[in-house]
Structure 1
Amino acid sequence: MNSNFVRRWRQQNWVMLLILVVQLLVFAGETFSGGSESGLVLVNWGAKYDPLIRIGEWWRLITPVFVHIGFMHILVNSFTLYYIGGAVEEMIGHWRFFLVYFLSALSGNLMSFAFGGGALSAGASTALFGLFGVYIALGVVFDDSMYYRQTGRQFLMLAAFNLVFDLFAQGIDIWGHIGGLLGGFLLIIVFALPGQKLRKGVYWQIGASVLFLAICAFLYWLGMVR
């Protein structure tokens, strides 16, 4: 295979683009199968619905990341994924981005499962808040870097603003956002940056790994028994 093609392929934010294409295709499927604001359509396409998770449909802790409710929902999340997701993938690499994105979605949906009251929910915002958490964590872990400190503060303010807005808005799954934010924060400590070791040591990575797994296990248990 041509080396220039391989180099260009590696430089493309292809994971972000693939996720974007899939969520747009899913939205089109929702639209043509009854409308993206129909509860039945949303459930059929994989939205988070607690009673079905409790009877074994565990994949609904991941699939909601592709499902959206209404045109503005898909529009805002798609633009956010394109700009912020592309920047994060370029910074941390393809496989790290893939894992952080979907594991943040998992922790966000688990938080919603445990504390969200059982409401039907969907959207990429659990994973997108995970990307906010990446920048916030980098400002803490690489606190000797002026760029990471300033960027971390900016995303902390952005996340805080969004969470305050969530408190006063209807139909917003604030627990999913909090869970995604926490997940992204811990996961970038686990995986670190390409070619860089954490100045604070490998114990931070081990601790973040154990804490992430413990939180996810606890949230799943709590959601199952509530």
Structure 2
Amino acid sequence: MDVSTPEAAAAHFAQRPDTELLYLARHASRYPPAVGAAAVAELQRRGLVPEAPAPIPAPPPTEAPSETWGQLLRQLGKGLFWPSPPYVAVPLLIDLNVLVWLLMVGSGVSATDPTGRELATWGSNVSSLTLHGQPWRLFTSLFVHGGATHLLLNMISLWLLGLMLEQRVGPWRLLAVYLASGLAASLATVWYHTGGINSTGASGAIFGLYGFMLALLLSKKMVLDKFDRRAMLGLVAYLILSNLISGLTGNIDNIAHLGGLLMGLLVAGPLAIFTMSNEQVGNE
């Protein structure tokens, strides 16, 4: 039996009877592999054994549908504006600031360059009014902004810093420090600017959150290793100094920034930390 090549094996088995081929195919394990394969091939050629069906190719792996820009923007918007634990205070504060600006624009105030009179109408911190029967302006001025750019810059800072803090200290402590720092910023403004001022914006309250972050880091209430703590301290110090330096030029109220910073660092922040008892703030 010559099965040295596939051609020789095929020629040999083409001359063998069906019964011999069936026997060889059925007992192929007793013979060299080439014998069984050649017998099966000849039986298939004669139509006595069905050919093995071709394997069905596996379907290509389905890729998870990529998120569209619209979906990403909706998720970002939800994170920015929709209060959902652990982020409650920051979205609410952003919502309130944006709502006041939208109402101002809807009433006819310029979206980018409102006048001083328009800002005063909506509750800005005007010394002559605040100190003479309208102390509520110390708070309302925190939610009034002098245009879209002013609002956008403050809300980005509030979002980035606020979320980092709120996850660690909770919404109520963050809100308390924010409002206390904002009040201190407004008081510092009317105290320092004896000639009168018309002040607006959330930056004084945001500087209070910077102070709160510094208080957490300096008290070692925030659990970080030595290198991460130094890096975070350096980052916060850089942000504070860069904002104060930029405030030396232009129509920026650095006194409000300093008032809010000192309140968050020396008073409101330490008080909030005291209420945390023996808790430690993780870097989760």
Q: TM-score when scaled to structure 2?
A: 0.62
Contact 2:86 2:170 in 1 (8 A): no
Bigger RCO (CA 8 Å, 6+ sep) = 1
1:52 is matched by which residue type in structure 2? L
1:188 matched to 2:269: yes
Once the two structures are superposed, residues 8-63 of structure 1 have per-residue CA deviations (whole angstroms, 9 ceiling, x without a partner) of x8733111111111111100111122325122221111110011111121111111
Match of 2:206 in 1: 128
2:244 is matched by which residue type in structure 1? L
1:141 is matched by which residue type in structure 2? S
1:138 matched to 2:216: yes
Contact 1:50 1:113 in 2 (8 A): yes
* Match of residue 104, structure 1, among 153, 178, 181: 181
The CA deviation at 1:131 is 1.0
1:159 matched to 2:269: no
The CA deviation at 1:178 is 0.5
The 3 A distance-change label for structure 1 pair 14 and 118 is same
More moved, 115-124 vs 105-114: 115-124
Match of 1:23 in 2: 97
In 2, the alpha carbon distance for the partners of 1:140 and 1:38 equals 42
Match of 1:173 in 2: 253
The CA deviation at 1:198 is 8.9
1:64 matched to 2:141: yes
1:73 matched to 2:150: yes
Identity of aligned residues (%): 32
How many residues are matched?
190
* Match of residue 13, structure 1, among 87, 93, 118: 87
In 2, the alpha carbon distance for the partners of 1:10 and 1:195 equals 22
The 3 A distance-change label for structure 1 pair 194 and 10 is farther
1:54 matched to 2:143: no
In terms of fraction of residues, the more helix-rich structure is 1
Unaligned runs of 5+ in 2: 1-82
Contact 2:90 2:159 in 1 (8 A): yes
The CA deviation at 1:152 is 2.3
Contact 1:93 1:194 in 2 (8 A): no
Compute the RMSD of aligned alpha carbons: 2.2
The CA deviation at 1:175 is 0.3
2:100 is matched by which residue type in structure 1? V
Contact 1:43 1:49 in 2 (8 A): yes
The 3 A distance-change label for structure 1 pair 54 and 82 is same
The CA deviation at 1:194 is 7.0
Match of 1:204 in 2: none
Unaligned runs of 5+ in 1: 1-8, 200-226
Structure 2 matches for 1:84-103, cutoff 5 A?
A: 84-103=161-180
